Structure 1
Amino acid sequence: MRNLDGTDTRLLLALARDPRRTVVALAQELGLSRNTVQARLARLERKHVFLPFGRRINPAAVGYPLAAFVHLHVQQQKLAPITEALALIPEVVEAYGITGQADILAKVVSEGAEDLFRITGKILAIDGVERTDTSLAMHELIPYRMEQLLHGAAGTGPSPAARPRYPGACPG
């Protein structure tokens, strides 16, 4: 794995399994000193290995049960101000610059169909957004995960052929 040794990878795997672990608990599990774990965590943080900390909150639990992916077709020269305007819409919870027919993929959460209509209207009102295509998320099939990548980097996980299949996955 890029610039990570086996100890770093084991530390990341332990955190991926339980992000709330204390430094002392990590040190005990990995057979390292507390100072070693603390120093490695600080170095990994300086290298931007960790994404911003926070618990993933279920949008449905706070009144936003409908998730959708909005493909935005935009004027490229206005990409920066469009991104800034998208960031001001609270229901836009993620956005990515993408290749393909669309330019931006935004994940949006809403209270329901009417609310989604309102939100896409706000997106379409942004100067430089030419059109949108919206797809409803019916069910999360594979949640965010890193364990398999880390196991592969550490040489401790299953081979790609032995990885679990997900319902509806294409044979490969």
Structure 2
Amino acid sequence: MDDTDRELLAQLEGNARLPVATLARRLGLARSTVQARIERLEEKGIIAGYALRLGDAARGDRIRATVLISIEPRSTPAVLARLKTLTQVEAAHTASGRWDMVLQLAAPSTALLDEVLDAIGEIDGVKGSESLIHLSTRIDRLG
């Protein structure tokens, strides 16, 4: 990957729907060259896909939370299997330090969020948790 590929990726991160002609103009390259670079980046798995980013108007009715959990040794696969069944769990990341996993949750109400937090606490292998309710978003580069 060279500097041109990095700039192409930066442009696509800003707006993945940019026409190839616009990308070519911005990069100072031929349209066919940009198209070939995109295809190569897709084939190499550098571009894994394209996704819809919802704006605040669509996400505004969701209560979001980060949940930190500690897990009994050797229980991670079973805990993950159970977490996958909870649709309010949007992402789960393993972590180093005091907590073993960081979860991202979203629910339409505090009542449902409370139910999900209880369900997480009841999973066999979960030793403890700490919940952080998101109040407002000040920076969002991930969408």
TM superposition score normalised by structure 1: 0.72
Q: Give yes or no for the alignment of 1:35 onto 2:32.
A: yes
Residue number among 74, 77, 88 corresponding to 2:71 in the alignment: 74
How many residue pairs match? The answer is 142
Q: Which AA in structure 2 matches 1:133?
A: E
Work out the percentage of aligned pairs sharing the same amino acid.
29
Deviations, residues 11-67 of structure 1 (Å, cap 9, x unaligned):
112212222112222123222222211221122223332354211225873674211
Q: Could you say what secondary structure the match of 1:25 adopts?
A: helix
Q: Which AA in structure 2 matches 1:27?
A: A
Q: Give yes or no for the alignment of 1:100 onto 2:97.
A: yes
Q: Give yes or no for the alignment of 1:136 onto 2:143.
A: no
Q: Could you say what secondary structure the match of 1:68 adopts?
A: strand
Q: Which AA in structure 2 matches 1:10?
A: E
Question: Cα 1:51–1:87, aligned 2, differ >3 Å: closer, same or farther?
Answer: farther
Alignment of 1:81-160 (within 5 A): 81-144=78-141
Q: Could you say what secondary structure the match of 1:120 adopts?
A: helix
Q: Distance in 2 between matches of 1:73 and 1:114?
A: 24
Segments ≥4 residues shifted beyond 3 Å: none
Q: For the aligned residues, what is the CA RMSD?
A: 2.1
